[in-house]
Chain A
Amino acid sequence: MNKGFRAGVRAGLPFALAGGLLATSFGVLAIDVGMPGWTAVLMSAIVFAGSAQIAALGILGAGGGLGAALGAAALMNSRFLPIGLAFAPSLPGRPLSRAAQAQTVVDVSLVVAEDGKGGFDRGLLFGSTAIQYMTWVSGTAVGVLGGSILGDPEALGLDAIYPAFFVALLVGELRNDRAKGVAAAGALIALVLVPIAPPGIPVLAASAATLIGLRRREAEAT
């Protein structure tokens, strides 16, 4: 586990650096919408979920209510229901221990913590998340403290960092035809749902694309 942890830290570093930039943009955004700086850093420390934090803040910043902001965060995080199912067999122990381990699962874990046998390695998971957690919290602090110097987050193009992060993750995953087909289907499902479902649901629904790929592969095998 110790060896896996160190390997995880190394594997997680590039994502952690990019995540740090993203966290900085979150810190700038928080100051921009009038959130007390220390509560933004606290949010990164105990919520540790980029898209949900940004979505919740966006709602409050646009004059929405607290309930709407919390609902947006829940919807944005709903993809962690299928992701949690994916990790379930790899997280042993009593329910409380499994719940605690589950907190370390982030989007990047899907690629970094893979064990090559259809499951996930806990050392890699904990190591890669540890380094991402450090840059996430410290990056937020940088954004909070430097926000007034940095200026308007939109003018700096900081809102492009988050989608670019996922595009970069995606390109690394397009290793075979099945993955390409699933990615195309996932993107299509999400885009079709954007105008008719609240943010977060399109991404959750896109997880159904994993089934399309499965059925097609089974059909090819028979």
Chain B
Amino acid sequence: MSTATALTLVGGCAVITAVIKSTGPVALGGRELPPWFASIVAMMAPALFAALAVTQALADGRQLELGADTAGVTLAGVAVWRGASMVTAVLVAAVTTAALRAV
């Protein structure tokens, strides 16, 4: 990849990300919002994290597939459920996945 291509990618991604992140706070900022709004906000984390977890673990582009990483991620979920820390969980995921791929 040429340096020019890489820098165009970096600059483009920076602008796109900044604009997307600014949109909500610039359009709505400082305005009082109705009580039900807080109720939706509280559910944003479970909805988005669940979607991010399953798509990152199961989707490869538009294909759904089970792989060594699916097993690693599942085991990481069990580890967290049983009280493991965030760092332990991601290490469990990586080590399990690597071990399954090595055999």
Binding site for B on A (CB under 8 A): 14-15, 17-18, 21-22, 33-36, 39-40, 42-43, 46-49, 51-53, 56, 60, 66, 69-70, 73-74, 77-89, 91-93, 95, 98-99, 101-103, 105, 107, 110-111, 117-119, 154-174, 178-180, 182-187, 189-191, 194-199, 202-203, 206-211, 213-214, 217-218
Contact = CB atoms under 8 A, between A and B. Distances in A.
Contact of B41 (A69, A105, A118, A156): A118
Interface of B: 1, 3, 5-10, 12-14, 16-18, 20-33, 36-59, 61-64, 68-69, 72-73, 76-77, 80-81, 85-87, 89-99, 101-102
Q: Chain A interface mostly helix, strand, loop or mixed?
A: helix
B46 to A, nearest CB: 4
B21 A103 contact: yes
Nearest to A118: B38
A53 B62 CA distance: 18
A49 B23 CA distance: 16
Contacts of A163: 52-54, 56-57, 69, 73, 93
Contacts of A203: 48, 51-52, 55
